[in-house]
Structure 1
Amino acid sequence: MAVTFSHSLHSSTLSLLPSPSPLPRSPLTKPVRAQLKPMDHHDDLRRKFMEFPHVSSARRRLMTDLMSTMEDRLGSKLLPCTLPPDVRYFQNQGGNAEASLYIRSGEISSPIDFILGSWIHCKLPTGASLNITSMSGYLNSSTEAPNFVIELIQNSPTSLVIILDLPHRKDLVLYPDYLKTFYEDTRLDSHRQSLLNLAEVNPYTSPSLFVRSAFSPAAAILAVEAEEGRMDEILRDHVRSAALEVMGIWLDRCVEGEGREVGEKEKEELERRDKSFRRKTIEVDLASSFPMMFGEQLATRALSFIRDAFHV
């Protein structure tokens, strides 16, 4: 999910989000069918998510390659997506904001808690559009290894914020071996450094202290300013390869690697930290931004399924 975008954008952008038209009252347990398009088949819904509409072909290829690679590698470790159709794709009554969610839980014996992908498109009153594409992999407490996240946030054709990281799940000062295993030995920081070598790319500092604390020291949190053609070139020739390599590290070292045994006390600590982070993510980001775009009813329904996946 786009779990960091409201604190990764300037407040001036958020103030431009359109106010949704009120929806007729109906029980939240029932789908808001007026907002749906007739896509009840599993494959049709997955195709809708994998379309990643409203973004360039280079960005679409980046996201589809990442999702396909993750699903192919994880294979039987994942259960099918069970989200209802009106949560897998929804739009507000005015038609100026739409989104797609895709969540697959991990098989009970796997270290995967769940994977989550999403795209959000919102037309702004200025004539510009806010387009967010994101993908995350969350591990459960059977392992202490980091999670995976990539998020691309764009509110103009020439401006893009990129977040690419393996967010840590343990304190890096208290556990220096954790830092060495997942960040130093994997040379994770080299991907951030290589992207920063491009003239159009600069570090991006989120205005949120929570967001800054959530990511690792090797996180690529970057702002790209480039003309449309050059933007596509950067995505195609540089960001795509970096993202696939970071995902490869996560799959090889975090999901399939031989991690050390996690004791019961450590499991409790991991679960407490994971739950606190996920709850905070929803409270400070999605709980405020979703109602602004989709209205209270649609937002509440979508957020209830995200909370279920997050176990909060």
Structure 2
Amino acid sequence: MSMLSGSSLLITGGTGSFGKAFLREVLDHHDPRRVVVFSRDELKQYELRQAFGDDPRLRWFLGDVRDRERLTRAMTGVDLVVHAAALKQVDTAEYNPFEFVRTNVDGSQNVIDAAIDVGVKKVVALSTDKASSPINLYGATKLCADRMFISGNHYAASGDTRFCVVRYGNVMGSRGSVIPMFRRLAQAGESLPITDHRMTRFWITLPQAVKFVIDSFELMTGGELYVPRIPSMRVVDLAEAVAPGTRTHEIGIRPGEKLHEEMIAPDDSRRTIRLGERYVVMPYVSGWGYEPPADGESVPEGWTYRSDTNDLWLDPDQLRELIATFG
């Protein structure tokens, strides 16, 4: 039986793409006692309520992660928390840096403090590949958040609350995906804009991301940064999968964008083990009794997990098949 069964859960940013998929999976297959959706947008909450038929297990809390008092009230009586709320647009962050700091950094500390204060058992925080060796402000705020959640275990050492982080790449079918834009342009007979024909990205489907997070609740003892073994894809192959034979043109890398993404940096390899189909980056300092998994396999020192040197790849046919199912 899943540890989610009979539990009270809360998800911040619960009306986003991940939140919708997470709610559907949890309600359909894990029988929670209640699930609290915590988010800012009244309209999105209303639309989601209609989509789920006013499921009596769902609770709807309007609030912002910048508001610690509201978070504390929402988390009262909650066993498990998924922290998905964040500002995420790379170019927007460059023009509005402190807004990203207030939500992604200050908001994360509020989640940590509220969870400890009310005695939440486990918190899984969602990260991004852009938090590894960040070159943009969004990635830098998410790296700060990652470290804060790991260090949150120190603050909670005398209590029962434990924190871990899940980091993965681009999500197929999520809001902001390039796939709908490619389709519209191809239908109009226009060329598809590619930032750089050499560009590669990690790729994961929403159901895979949701399963990875749920499994992390089961595995975590506190202090882990979990990274799934997922395939890479070339952006030009994605364009070919969406619109076969359509012309493409380069528009150049946008501010703060990388040519290839990274999920584990070389300097983190000394703390990284492979555990089945996931990597575990262990904490620098673990004063709360953390013990590494006994069945993990160390990665070579200096190893890095990058989208261009990955050993798993999706070709255009495989991408087309995934898009037909999940995109």
Give the helix-richer structure, 1 or 2: 1
TM-score normalized by the length of structure 2: 0.30
Larger radius of gyration, structure 1 or 2? 2
